[in-house]
Every structure is written in structure tokens, then in C-alpha cells.
Chain A
């Protein structure tokens, strides 16, 4: 089933190439919904009582090096898979009228990207993971570079080079791991479950400590993707220049590949090194929360503000993971989903208003609430979700992360709580300037239509998710619980099994 979900988008991408232009959108939408329904198979048939890998498929790929096509899903990855398939139809709908140039290539890129992202979430073979990880770069590069804003070339190259720079180190560490497997297990392998068994030498205090170096190599690649302070500067540019669908997919799913990488690779593979560097990553996470929020506060451009808010929100995800307790890690996973929905929704909303006015400058707005009341309601609900008001999804994630962090390191917990105040400050400040007060320049000059049916549909779906995840989080948490408990309890000797009978 995983292979179907994984390669169906690729097949669609191929089919789209031969379709007449006016068929592209309906077919893409239909296929993306179908893909989402396929992926629900995992939700229905998931066994919540085990931390073992499920729906596993394994085929030898390059047997000489022990590389295989090995995929599976557990409690840590299941919702990320669903999030990816959920976002795609939304994106296709959101770009229905805003993208009108080279729509065929555009949709092909989206579907290839989906396969790449799904692949990185389900791959249980390190080389396979790396392949999908790198594959995801190309369509994203195209989406920013072809359909982006005026500085799109600069932004897309910056994005590409930043990510490649990190990936190179990850590849080196990966190859050393495979050689280490040859020494310790008698044969070369990139099977993640076998790599978990490795005893990676950890020489305390030594310069060139192998485990620490490998950890840092992986961590750098993931940190750039997240992005963590101080390697975040590609994100504001990429987000601002990307077209709305690009921003949504970037914030909604791609950034999670980084945090997921920490949870799946960096943390369980290198326990001693993690122990050594936890404070450092928590520190960077907290700096990211506060720094991102402060810089967001002074942005003149709505989209850039949302981009910096992403840096802040992803900081929460990072500290939650490195709290290494059930609260922090669960909150972290939950926050990945929340961020996907809320920040994705914010980008969609910003895109809707940009389509009407062609400006994103906060100073051009004012009094929008009067002109577009329904849009305003939607925007404020999403804002509340973004600043984690209880009853919305954001609260569950943020609360669990903050509590987990506080229980594992009080000083970091206290520092992180400051972010709660700053988060409200920059969002409400922006809401005030854009929606309240007297009608601003563009509001006066443009005839603004409130949301149409298509837009309202998109927004409604996202708002339903905001409340569902905020009011009844148990439905989602039940899936992750056993896997997270297994991870935090066995952090020093992590192992993962394959569910019996598969």
C-alpha cells in the first residue's frame, strides 16, 4: 500500500505530461484527492498498540552495498504522511486561478514533490531516504525559480545551495555509517533498523570524536532544512519569493523533513552525542523562537512576517524534541502538524489578499475588516491558532512542548515561555495594522470582493482541522503515543521492529 501511495503521484505526473492543458487542473485535483483517500488507508489500518513499523515493504535495490527499497510507517511518521497528502489538494485548489503560466509543468512539479516528501517520511533505508531528500529539492527549486516573485532566481539558488551544503555532510556521515556496518555487522548496509544496532565509537572530549562528528553532520543537514537559527536566512527569501502554493508546501511539509530527520536519524542513531549536544540544540531552538519572533515584529511585508514566524514556530518543534521526554516529543510532532496547517493557512490567506491587491506591504492596508468581513474572521481564527489560544490546535502542541522543555531544563523552559508573549505581539500587531483602523490605501482604491466559494471551501477545511485538533487531540495523539514512549524510554539503545505478520 505504501508503494501505491508513494508512486501514484509520480504516475500522475507522467500522465499530466500528455494531457491537454485544460484537463490538467481537474485531473490534478481529482488525483490529489484520490491520493489523500488512499493514504487514509494507513489511518484506518494502523495498529496503535505497537511501536513497530507497519505496512512494511522491502525489496533489494543495490544488494552489493546492502541498499534496499525499504519503507514503513510508525507513530512518528504517520501524521506527516497524511499531512503531505492532505496539503496537496488544498494547494491545487489554492492555485486554481493564481498560477496561469506553464500550468502543466507546475502541476507535474507538485506531484513529483509529493512523492519525494512522502518518500523521505516512509523510507527506512538511509540511502533511500537520502535519494528522496535530494529529489525534493528539484521540484521546489523549479516552483520558486519559475513561478516566484521578482527576486525568485536569487531565492531559489540560495535555497538550493544552502540545502545542498548540509546534505553533503549528511552523505559523508551516511557513507561512514555504512562502512561501520560492514565492520560491525559483517556486511555493508543502509537499512536503518540495522544502523540503529551499530555501536558508534564515542570518545569523550576527543577532537574527531566519530559519533559526535557524524551527529553534527546529520544535524547540520536537518538544521538547515528546519531551519534553525543561524542557518535560517534562506527561508524568508524563499518564502517571500515563492508563489503561494510554494510557500504553503514549503512551510506545510518540507520544513518538517528536517525535524523528522532529527527524530528518525540524528537522535536515535547517536545517543551519546545527543546527550552531549542537547543543551546546544535547545539553546539554538530557544534563540530561534525569540529571534524569529522579534524579527517578525518589525517586518514591513506580511509574507516575510509569516516566514519569520515560521522560524519561531519551528524553534518550538526543536526544543520539544530535544527535551527527550514524552511531553516534549509528542508536542513537537503535534506542532509539526499544527504548523503545517496554521502557517500553511496563513500563506494561503496572504495569497488570497495578494491576488486582489498585488501588494503585501502592511503599511498599504488598514481597515480590511470592513471590506472583507469573512476573510477577516478566517484570518483571525488562524491567527489564534498560530498564537496558540486554547481550543485551537496550536495550544496543544505549544503547551506540551513548553511543559516538556521546562521539565527537562528549567532555564530553557522559562526562556521559551517568553516566546508566548512575543508570538501574540507580532501577530496581533499585524492584524491591527491590516484589518483595523481606517481604510488604508489599497483598501480604498481597490474594489475588494470577499472570499468566493472556492476560497471559502479551502479555508473552512483548514479551520475545521484547527478546531478538531485543538478540541479532540486524543484522536491524533493515540497514534503517536506508543512510538513516542518507545523512543523516549529507549533513547540510549533505540531499536525498531517490524510488525509481526507483515
Chain B
């Protein structure tokens, strides 16, 4: 029975992609959008059905492992087309299909003026299919199909408006940057196969690998996998593609570049958490990269003017938080933040889409302001997202972010340094998000005269409302132990209970010091409130003060506003030398050297042939000479030999 549900779940979006794919010329956005939305809706329904089945099962056997056919079978490698639905993957499946259907619905309105809506919806459905493969695959290779498949969809959707050269280039950049990560992921897969002899998640997790406290093969394998994660989940040093990826339609940014695909790296690590916990060094690298990414991305977000770019850097930064969580061993907190982030960031991206739609494709927040009165629903839902991300108490972001910050100091794998980076980042987050709110929705209107902003249709605002509700209440799935003991009714950390044994315990984790936990929580709330207030004041009343500050720290401002010149560095030091070298290889090695040698060889033969031809020039006297010489040589052999 569950086999049928799983088949429906996977094939429904694929079918949708094919239907819209074959009628890609159609301009009927309503029909195309409805087909696509219904197909994802069916998947969501199937996910819910499977979820309720799981709920009814005993904890120790709470999973479905369904195999459809043998995919690859070579030597001792056997890869079935098998899918695993367990407490971890079902959470992702619900997010993907749930948030996914809302975003599909939103897209109908958003793409109403587009020339090729059917093609768009075909790609979007195909993305859902691949994303489901990614999270449901029972082994690393099925995951890898989805992993590259979502990358392909991302490439196609970023470059959806391909007549614009910049947009096509952004798609290509995303694909190639991700490919670098994928190369690492492949090496990780090979190393794991070398150690375990299987690619199945259950085999790997239960292989009984021993702890690797140094830099042994396990650590290398895990770091190689992490390289894959830095690509897909936009971490240092491979994050550069994500801000550019904003070239795609905004709902795509919400679905792929905020809620689902970019969390694939986190999902992979959680899927393999029993082996990640075995290598403190690999975990430390992950935590450090996560914390630094969170910090630097947030700092870049502060000085952006494009509404989507701000959200993009915010996403990179929030993904950094998730890796920080994973690195200190708080896997549940990582997934928890994936979930709450999917709600509030999808909400804000869709909200920005609603704004962009209303502003006739304008994305510069300097040309907005005061939109509150034109777009009340968009504004109020956006406010919920804003409150959630800056960590307003009892909203979703508060619970998940504070759990991460708390674990980064509480866990024996964590440290005060990591906490400090995370803490400062939280302040910056509140600052740049409030800046965005202030410049977009509040204050004076700077909207050009010929633009008349208007509220979006119901198909666009409905998803916003649903996501706003989720952003507000979604955090109650993971109430921290400290807080839950204070509350009436003792709501437990539902997510932790749900994952149960699937999450490896952190070795040496002590008892929580609630007093410390509360004080840290209070500190981050105060910091967030303070920076939010500061940002509001600075961007409404004290703009002259702001300008003075910028004037004073010109160098730093320049550095951050130009995103630390990372793209320029990559271009000048990696891409250009590579192209120059390739040109040199072609001109000097291929044409200039190897071909020259072949000419020399062939000329030598030609010369030889000429020389030999000389011996047969028809001159009888010379022939007589040859005969004499030959006679002499053979006679000498007879006489002396």
C-alpha cells in the first residue's frame, strides 16, 4: 500500500512536468498553473497520508523502505531504486510538497504576464520531483540523482528569462559552482564505499565505523561530502552563485533558493549524522564554516539595495546557522531551523515577489517606501516573517535560532567563539531585515510617479497568509526543555521526540544550565530589539548620521558593499588564468608542438623516400656499382663470417 503512495507521491509532479512540458508553447497560465499545483498538491496529500501512517507505527520500526527495481548492479555495488520514508525524510517531504504547493499557487498570479508559463510550471514540477528523490532516496546514489536534478532545474529556472545575457550567465554560474561541490560529494561517496562497501544509508549508518579523532579516512570522506554541501547549500567558499541566482523568477527564489534545495546539504548531513558525530574534526570544520558564512553573509546583506539580494544574503547567513548547528552536534536544531526558515523565508521571498509584481519589476528598495498603505496583506504577512527571523520571542525563528545559539555553547563540540559569531550575526540579521522593512514598507514613499502599486490577487496573498501563520506558530514544534518546564501543559520538544533514536546523541553532553540558557536568550532578544530599533531610526530620521558614518568608514563600507570582492577575486585568480592556460595549451601544445612533431616525422619519411628514390634513378652505371658493393658485402660474410 505504501508502495503505491510513494509511487504517486513521486510520479505526480513528474507527470505534471511532462504534461506542461509537451504543451510548452501554451500561454494559458491558469491551466498550466492549475495542473502543476494540483500535481504537487497530490504529492502533499500523499505525504500527509504517509505521515499519518508513520504516526500509527511503533517507534522502533517507524519507516518504510520500498524498492522498485535494481538500478545499477556492478561488481559488489548494488544500487536499488529504493526510497526511505522515515521521521527525518517525512519532515522534509512535508516541507517540500506543502510549501511547494503554496509557491505553485502563488506562481499562477506571478507568471500571469509571462510568455511561457507552461514551460515555467513544467520546470517547477520537475524540481519538486527531483527534490523528493533527493530526500527520499535510500542510498547516496539516488540522493545524488535528485541532488544534480535539482541543480539542473535551478539552472533552467535561474536562466528562465534567457534572452537576458546576465540571467543566462547566472544560471551557468550556479550549475558550475554546484558541480565543484558535486565533485567533492562524489569523492565522499567513493570513500564511504571504500570503507563500508555499500551506499545504502542504513548500511553506512549501522556499519559500526570507529571514531576518528584525527584526520583519517572517515574525516576526509565527511569533509568531501561537506564540500558537496557547501556547493548546494551556498556556504563559504562556494556561496557566490546564490546571490546571482536571484535572476530567476521570485517564486523560484522562494522555493528553490530559500525553502528547499539549498537545505539539501543540511539534510544530507542529518541523514548521515551517526557517522558525522564520529569525527570531531570534520564537525568542527562544518561549525566554523557555518558560523563564518552566517557572519559574512549577514554583513553583506546590510549594504544591499536589491530587495531580493538582501533576502539572498540572509538565506546564505541562515544556512550558515544551520551548519553551525550541525557542526556542534545539534542535528535536530539544524532540521528545526530548516523548517522554520522554510516558512518565514519563503514567506518573505513571496512577499518580495508580491512587491516586485506591484512595482512593475522594480527591485531597488531605494525606489520603494510607504508601501504599507497600498499592500496591506503583503505588508502584514511580511511583518510576521520579519518578526520571526529577527527572533521575536515565541515566534518560529526565536525557538530555532536560540536553540542553535544555545547548543553552540552548551555542546562539548561547541565553544564561546562560535556562540559569539552567531550572536553578533543575530544582531546584524535584525538590522538588515529592519532596514529592508523600513525602506520598503514604512517611511516616506519614494515610488516613481508613473508606478501605481496595488495589492496582489488572492491566489498570491493566500499563500502569504498561510505561510505567515506557520511562521508565527511553527516554532512550537521545538520548544526548548528549559522553556517547556515553565509553560503550562509542558509542551515537549516535539521534533526531538519525533526523531528519537535517528539522531545520534552528542558524546559528553552535560545537563543544561537553565539560568545560563535564559540569560543567553534574553541577551539575544535584547540585541535584536536594539539593532532593529537602531535600523528603524537610522533609515527614517537619522539618515544624515548614517551618511556621516559611511563617510568615516569609507574603506570598510566599500569593501562590504562590494561583497569583499570575492567574485572579482575568483574571476581574476581562477577563471581567467584557467582560460588563458587553455588558450596556451591549444595554441602552443596542440597546434604548436604536437602537430609540429608529426610534421617532422612525416617529413622525415618523405626525405627518406626521396633518398631511397635516388637509388632507383635509372642510371645503369650506378646499379652496377650497387651490385659490386653487394657482392663484396656478401662475399665478406662468406670469407670472414
Contact = CB atoms under 8 A, between A and B. Distances in A.
Given A294-B585, A391-B149, A400 B176 contact: no
A374 to B, nearest CB: 9
Contacts of B159: 436
Which size bracket describes the interface of A in this complex?
A: 35 or more
B183 A327 contact: no
Contacts of A377: 24
Given A330-B74, A389-B149, 16 more contacts: A233-B590, A295-B590, A298-B579, A299-B586, A327-B74, A370-B163, A390-B149, A403-B77, A403-B190, A407-B194, A413-B190, A414-B187, A428-B172, A432-B171, A437-B168, A473-B72
Contact of B585 (A161, A291, A414): A291
B74 A429 contact: no
Contacts of A231: 594
B77 A474 contact: no
Nearest to B193: A403
A391 B74 contact: no
Interface string A428-453: 11011001111000000000000000
Contacts of A391: 145, 149
A432 B169 contact: yes
Interface string A19-41: 00000000000000000000000
A477 B176 contact: no
A400 B186 contact: no
Contacts of A165: 601
Contacts of A384: 152
A472 interface: yes
A12 B263 CA distance: 59
B323 to A, nearest CB: 22
Interface in B138-172: 141, 144-145, 147-149, 152, 155, 159, 162-165, 168-169, 171-172
Interface stretch (A175-183, A253-261, A418-426): A418-426
Nearest to B194: A407
Nearest to B178: A424
Nearest to A325: B75
A367 interface: yes
B590 A326 contact: no
A363 to B, nearest CB: 14
Contact of B175 (A399, A417, A424): A424
Looking at chain A's contact residues, is the secondary structure mostly helix, strand, loop, or mixed? helix
A407 B190 contact: yes
The 3 closest A-B CB pairs, nearest first, are A326-B75, A436-B168, A390-B145
Interface of A: 158, 161-162, 165, 230-231, 233, 236, 291, 294-295, 297-299, 325-327, 330-331, 367, 369-370, 373, 377, 384, 389-391, 395-396, 399-400, 402-403, 406-407, 413-414, 417-418, 420-421, 424-425, 428-429, 431-432, 435-438, 472-474, 477, 481, 485
A373 B24 contact: yes
Contacts of A396: 72
B524 to A, nearest CB: 40
B598 A481 contact: no
Given A390-B145, A472-B69, A436 B186 contact: no
A417 B77 contact: no
B161 to A, nearest CB: 10
B186 A420 contact: yes
B152 A298 contact: no
A406 B75 contact: no
B172 A432 contact: yes
B73 interface: yes
B116 to A, nearest CB: 9
B575 to A, nearest CB: 9
Looking at chain B's contact residues, is the secondary structure mostly helix, strand, loop, or mixed? helix
Nearest to A296: B582
B490 interface: no
A406 B74 contact: no
Contact of A295 (B70, B169, B582, B601): B582
18 contacts: A233-B595, A294-B581, A294-B585, A297-B579, A299-B586, A389-B148, A390-B149, A403-B77, A403-B193, A406-B187, A407-B193, A414-B187, A417-B186, A431-B172, A437-B163, A473-B71, A474-B73, A481-B74
B602 interface: yes
A70 to B, nearest CB: 30
Given A402-B190, A437-B162, A424 B145 contact: no
Nearest to A370: B163
B578 interface: yes
A399 B72 CA distance: 11
B590 to A, nearest CB: 6
A231 B589 CA distance: 12
A158 to B, nearest CB: 8
B74 A436 contact: no
B578 A294 contact: yes
A432 B168 contact: yes
A390 B144 contact: yes
Contacts of B164: 437
B542 interface: no
B180 interface: yes
A190 to B, nearest CB: 28
Contacts of A406: 187, 190, 194
B582 A428 contact: no
Nearest to A406: B190
Contacts of B71: 472-474
A474 B70 contact: yes
A299 B147 CA distance: 30
A425 B582 contact: no
Contacts of A472: 69, 71
